[in-house]
Amino acid sequence: MTGPKLNEANRVAGSKSGSRASAKYHRSSASKVRVVLNLVRNQNVRAADEILQFTDREAARVVRKVLASAVANAVTNDNLDADDLFIKACFADEGPTLKRFRPRAKGRAGKIMKRTCHITVIVDRMSDDALAVREAKTMAKGVPTSNRRARVAASRKAEPAAETAVDETEIVVDDQVVDTTTTEEAGN
């Protein structure tokens, strides 16, 4: 058995090492999944999702689901912003092997090993230095911040209260609004 992975000793002692999600007993060999995990290790969550979306391997579909689950855990349980997360660690351990046999010539049997694996993805918040570098890059491009909340807030402030050429009429019966219709004013 190998040693603890990614500060699990510290995790037992009580320090937080990120939000995790895992898929157990996935019917694929660990070596096939590790190829996909190597593509996204240490990437930010948005870039990793794009990489997994366009990777032509069956394991990429499962790893993408596990990544989405880890991000949801971080947002829900740890109140982190999804745009500030990166993949701190990801690994695939071997699960139990299902042993099957196929009849061969002269009464013999050939062994078939059907492998399983446990996929684990751990996400954590980027360091303040990495966030500052990312913000500097986005500002240099002239693109507003990548933080969705900040973009939405900025767009709401920037929206002018434009007058529209729509007249709203309401039909009121017994002090209750029954129907609201909108008609455009005739500009002829």
Please indicate, yes or no, if residue 25 is contained in any of the structural domains: yes
Cβ–Cβ < 8 Å for 81, 146:
no
What confidence tier does 10 reach under pLDDT thresholds 50, 70, 90? very low
What is the DSSP secondary-structure string of 26-86? ESS-HHHHHHHHHHHTT-BHHHHHHHHHT--SHHHHHHHHHHHHHHHHHHHHH---GGGEE
Show the tokens assigned to 5. Answer: 């992975």
- Residues spanned by the domain of 81: 16-140
Please indicate, yes or no, if residue 173 is contained in any of the structural domains: no
The SS3 call for residue 176 is: strand
Angle formed by the axes of helices 45-53 and 30-40, nearest 10°? 130
Show the tokens assigned to 155. Answer: 């767009």
Please indicate, yes or no, if residue 67 is contained in any of the structural domains: yes
- The mean pLDDT value for 16-20 works out to 81
Please indicate, yes or no, if residue 79 is contained in any of the structural domains: yes
- The mean pLDDT value for 8-34 works out to 78
| Residue 151 pLDDT | 73
**Choice between 101 and 153, residue whose per-residue pLDDT is larger:** 101
What confidence tier does 169 reach under pLDDT thresholds 50, 70, 90? low
Helices (H) and strands (E) in the chain, counts: 6, 7
Cβ–Cβ < 8 Å for 101, 110:
yes
- The mean pLDDT value for 155-172 works out to 62
Q: How many domains does the chain have?
A: 1
Show the tokens assigned to 183. Answer: 């008609």
| Residue 130 pLDDT | 85
Please indicate, yes or no, if residue 129 is contained in any of the structural domains: yes
Show the tokens assigned to 149. Answer: 């909340």
* CATH number for the domain harbouring residue 113: 3.90.470.10
Please indicate, yes or no, if residue 9 is contained in any of the structural domains: no
